[in-house]
Amino acid sequence: MPSAISASGSQGAILRRAFIDALVKLDPRKLTGNPVILATEVVAVLATISVVDAFVRHASPLFAIQIALWLWATVLFANLAESVAEGRGKAAADSLRAARVTTNAKLINEANGQVTMTPSHKLGKGDLLLVEAGDVIPADGDIVEGVASVNESAITGESAPVIRESGGDRSAVTGGTTVVSDWIKVRVTAGAGDSFLDRMIAMVEGANRRKTPNEIALAVLLAGLTLVFLVAVVTLLGLGKYSGVALDPMVLGALFVCLIPTTIGGLLSAVGIAGMDRLLKVNVLATSGRAVEAAGDVDTLLLDKTGTITFGNRMATEVIAAPGVAEDRALRAALMASLADETPEGRSILELAREKHGLSLETPDGATAVAFSATTRMSGLDVAGTSWRKGAVDAVYKAAGLEPKDVPAEVAAAVDRIARSGGTPLAVSENGKLMGVIHLKDVVKPGVKERFADLRRMGLRTVMITGDNPVTAATIASEAGVDDFLAEATPEDKLRLIREEQAKGRLVAMCGDGSNDAPALAQADVGVAMQTGTQAAREAGNMVDLDSDPTKLIEIVEVGKQMLITRGALTTFSIANDVAKYFAIIPAMFVVALPSLAAINIMHLSNPHSAILSAVIFNALVIIALIPLALRGVRYQAIGAARLLSRNLMIYGLGGVIAPFIGIKIIDVLIHAINLA
């Protein structure tokens, strides 16, 4: 799928920019939102001071220098994680900005109909514009008159033009897109700086990225832990003094930084940005991170049947021969009757004949197509005296001169069965003789059923919304494996259903495109508007799908969940890491005064300095090592909450306890080998 917002510029350029950003972010004022990293920076500053102090006192500064450097590296790595995550968005924003050029708009004076050229940034809401072939549409708006094909690739990445026309659900146009043919009159709906494109740029740049509720809660937990560890470390001053332990403030600082959750603290905002980024990659634009997070919490998905669950047009699935007619003759008749039929139904009959029966025919020369008409309610083909027809069952019966009572029982039964299953029966005749019945039905997209089963395991209920009658709806619902359906649904029904679900304490997601969807989109916790939809729909939803593909809802939910899982996994890992760090640093701190504590140096680290340094280095490097995971996200599997939890607890909890024991030991061996401590 093409994506307009895939990053421009090479990976290298993004990285270079990220490095510079990371340095700029060392400014403590920029770190106020991240108490863990701010605390790390404070310790880094104090460590730097003690390096100077060591020089002044002519003590060996080697250890102090290394600790200070690695503490700074910890802060830098955390900043880098955020910058890299932002970098991708910034690059995407650049390519969008290219579409936001100031153009000359043809402003129509509504009093006298005269057109004046006005720079697009001077346009206001309510202005009426003329846009002709070749013009860039200067602002967001609704078409009030005319039809045009519009190239929207600047927004969607899709270069095939789309038709936009006044009235109905295809009337919205977006500033920055180009009219390819014809002309339209557009009523401006968003002033300069407030357009869809502006909002997109702001979103991908993260300019107005606010912390999401869950991110705030996690940040609170991390800040709380930081304070708890601050108490645990600072009180060691007193307890250590009593025990006769000479505590180097540098070592206390190192212990503090190792204990506070720097890993998740450093990666937290990168995870959030990367979540938005993953949505952008599938061409979905969220108006806030809050919406992405809510997507992870969704309990009920409202899915439109047409286009989401089924292909949306009826397709032939079988041909039932009339009694006394060979099966292949009936199929051949159906095929001949459909050769000239360009409708999707007609194409599907050709498809059925080819795929299932290996039958494929060319339209013979001299054939005359007989088009469908409201009076005959049949269509077909005449070739050299033979006529094939297919059409409404009663129409074909009538043409065949059959009274209802004369219809062969087998045929009547087949017709009845098809109708009851929600399908559409079509009768086929050859030279007026009834040959058989074609079963047309709404076909469920392949893989949809499995997808819904996954969703069920994720704890999501799926509700199919359709305008069909309850019988047809029930058939499709059971075939697709949705949990529930709403038949003959009106927009009011949709809104009511959403409210009911919400009253039961469930979060609801839906997608829609029409103006009459707008109230429901606004009411839903996650409302995904199709980019092809009306301006009203796009404003009501909290996400816009640039591909206008309703199945995206499922991907959106997954991205939301993935974002939360990644945060939880990194937090667990970060806290679990502390166990090993204690076993490295505590014996190292106290062993000189209390030699018996050498017994808890279970990693057998070479010496106290090396032990402390190894823990600090591990603590810094683990941030770098986990940046890819933070950006990619922990894989989400639809295996149910209990199994998912035990799996993640194993990897990130148990793994988080074990990994640093190994990592710190390796670093210690290396440090010792090259004599750094």
Partner 1 sequence: MTFQGWAEIALTIGLAVGLAWPLGIYMARVWQGESTWLDPVLRPIESIFYGLSGVDRNKGQGWLTYTFSFLAFSAAAFFILYALLRFQNLLPLNPQGFAGMSPDLAFNTAISFVTNTNWQSYSGESAASYLSQMAGFTVQNFASAAAGIAIAAALARAFAANRGESVGNFWVDLTRITLYVLLPVSIVGGLVLAALGVPQTLSHYIDAHTIEGAKQTIALGPVASQEIIKQFGTNGGGFFNANSAHPFENPTPLTNMIAMVAMNVLGFACVVAFGRVAGARREARALVIAMTVLLAGAASAIYWAETQPTPALVAAHVVTTPNMEGKEVRFGAAASAVFTAMTTGASCGAVNAMHESYTPIGGGMAMFLIQLAEILPGGVGSGLYGMMVMALIAVFVAGLMVGRTPEYLGKKIEAREMKLCMLASLILTASILGFAAVAIVLPLAMKTVSASGVHGLSEVLYAYTSATGNNGSAFAGLTAANPFWDTTMGIAMWLGRFGYAVPVMAIAGGIVAKPKLAPTAGTLPTHGGLFVGLVIGVILILGGLQYFPAQALGPIVEHFQMLQLTAAH
Among all residues, which ones are annotated catalytic?
304
What is the total residue count of the chain? 677
* Closest listed residue to residue 493, CA positions, set 525, 519, 532, 462: 519
Contact range with partner 1 by CB under 8 A, out of 430-438, 471-479, 532-540, 558-566:
558-566
Q: How far is the CB of 635 from partner 1 (least distance, A)?
A: 11
Residue 538 to residue 639: CA distance in whole angstroms:
33
Q: Binder to partner 1 among 111, 374, 599, 674 (CB under 8 A)?
A: 599
Residues 293-322, mask of contacts with partner 1 (x by CB under 8 A): x--xx-x-----------------------
Q: Binder to partner 1 among 561, 630, 631, 661 (CB under 8 A)?
A: 561
Nearer to partner 1 by Cβ, of 425 and 560: the residue is: 560
Give the side-chain half-sphere CA count within 13 A for 232. 14
Q: Binder to partner 1 among 615, 648, 659, 665 (CB under 8 A)?
A: 648
Q: Taking a C-beta distance cutoff of 8 angstroms, is the pair 433, 400 a contact?
A: yes
Nearer to partner 1 by Cβ, of 384 and 503: the residue is: 503
Rounded to the nearest 10 degrees, what angle do helices 289-297 and 262-281 cross at?
90
Near partner 1 in 498-537, by CB under 8 A: 504-506
Q: How far is the CB of 383 from partner 1 (least distance, A)?
A: 58
Q: Binder to partner 1 among 329, 357, 456, 672 (CB under 8 A)?
A: 456
Six token digits for residue 597:
């504590």
Residue 53 to residue 521: CA distance in whole angstroms:
63
Residue 44 to residue 23: CA distance in whole angstroms:
14
Q: How far is the CB of 654 from partner 1 (least distance, A)?
A: 9
3-state secondary structure of 104: strand
Contact range with partner 1 by CB under 8 A, out of 88-96, 338-346, 415-423, 639-647:
639-647
Q: Binder to partner 1 among 571, 610, 614, 619 (CB under 8 A)?
A: 571
Q: Binder to partner 1 among 645, 662, 669, 670 (CB under 8 A)?
A: 645
Near partner 1 in 223-242, by CB under 8 A: 223-225, 227-229, 231-242
Residue 136 DSSP symbol: B
Q: Binder to partner 1 among 597, 621, 658, 676 (CB under 8 A)?
A: 597
Tell me the β-bridge partners of 425.
439
663 binds partner 1 (CB under 8 A): no
Q: Taking a C-beta distance cutoff of 8 angstroms, is the pair 74, 257 a contact?
A: yes
Near partner 1 in 241-270, by CB under 8 A: 241-243, 245, 255, 259
Q: Taking a C-beta distance cutoff of 8 angstroms, is the pair 529, 538 a contact?
A: yes
Six token digits for residue 522:
């606004």
Q: Taking a C-beta distance cutoff of 8 angstroms, is the pair 139, 129 a contact?
A: yes
Q: Taking a C-beta distance cutoff of 8 angstroms, is the pair 126, 191 a contact?
A: no
Nearer to partner 1 by Cβ, of 413 and 593: the residue is: 593
Near partner 1 in 196-225, by CB under 8 A: 213-214, 216-218, 220-221, 223-225
Rg of the chain on CA atoms, in Å: 34
CA dihedral 271, 276, 278, 284 (to 10 degrees): 170
Residue 477 to residue 475: CA distance in whole angstroms:
5
Q: Which helix (H) or strand (E) holds 313?
A: strand 310-321
Q: Taking a C-beta distance cutoff of 8 angstroms, is the pair 460, 420 a contact?
A: no
Q: Binder to partner 1 among 388, 485, 618, 652 (CB under 8 A)?
A: 652
Six token digits for residue 581:
């760090």
Nearer to partner 1 by Cβ, of 247 and 518: the residue is: 247
Q: How far is the CB of 494 from partner 1 (least distance, A)?
A: 21
Residue 677 to residue 669: CA distance in whole angstroms:
10
371 binds partner 1 (CB under 8 A): no
Q: How far is the CB of 63 from partner 1 (least distance, A)?
A: 21
Near partner 1 in 278-297, by CB under 8 A: 293, 296-297
Q: Binder to partner 1 among 144, 594, 624, 625 (CB under 8 A)?
A: 594
